[in-house]
Amino acid sequence: MTSVSHPAPPGVDVRGLQVRFGPVTAVADLDLQVAPGAGVALVGRNGAGKSTTLRVLGGVLPPSAGTVLVGGVDAVRDPRLARERVGYCPDVGGLVPRATPWEHLQLAARLRGMGADWEDRAHDLLTRFDLATAADRVTAGFSHGMGRRMSVVLAAFHRPSVLLLDEPFDGVDPLGVEATLEEIRSARLRGAAVLVSTHLLGLAVQACDEAVVLRQGRVVAAAPAAELAGEDGEARYRELLR
């Protein structure tokens, strides 16, 4: 008897997501799917709902309504298990000011139950993100760009099945940008679903194969990222934001 193969379920599957803060609706009826190995960019102006959406997926913020599946797990019913599937880089914060990068990674390895090779992975990431010489410095003294790079390192460290990066390129120098793009490519090649929130359209196009444009908490367009490349793509994007 011939076996029938079924496509893998989405790494991220959001249906009818709503997030309200009192009378303010930050996200309204959002549908979003990211397949394993795919990269999707959430783009839009400040206040469009990008970070709020990633906070829900990262298990930081409960939704007001809707279905949220992360790595096949219902993030509302089982937020702890959903968080185990995710590597999340928040838009701000996420680092312990009095801890060093090495201490962050050591704690993450223990909490994630990583194997004995975690030190090799940690050394590799710190080197590629140009943080090796700062591995024993407390993060309170880090520049904004160094903090962004370290947040990406922590999110990607345990090779999650879903990688959520919120403004990973903000204030980051070209070497850090290239390291982040390389880590996104690596994650996608091993089958992770990657969702990147950014206001930098050019980098969104490089990192992802699909772009979802948000405006006032709603999806106004979704298209192959290549369609938003170049001057014509920039012009189309500006029109969508109006």
* Residues 181-211: tens digit of each pLDDT: 999 999 999 999 999 999 888 999 999 999 9
Q: Which segment of 2-6, 73-77, 136-140, 204-208 scores lowest on mean pLDDT?
A: 2-6
- When the pLDDT of each residue in the chain is averaged and rounded to a whole number, the result is 92
**Which numeric CATH code is attached to 12-96+159-241?**
3.40.50.300
Q: Residue 238: its pLDDT value, please?
A: 85
Domains of the chain, by residue range, sit at: 12-96+159-241
Query: Residue 7: pLDDT band by 50, 70, 90 thresholds?
Result: low
Q: How far is CA 222 from CA 36, 43, 99, 237, in A?
A: 18, 10, 40, 11
Q: Residue 232: its pLDDT value, please?
A: 87
Give the Cα separation of 148 and 150 in Å (integer).
5
Query: Residue 9: pLDDT band by 50, 70, 90 thresholds?
Result: confident
Give the Cα separation of 143 and 133 in Å (integer).
14
**Is a pLDDT exceeding 70 seen at residue 1?**
no
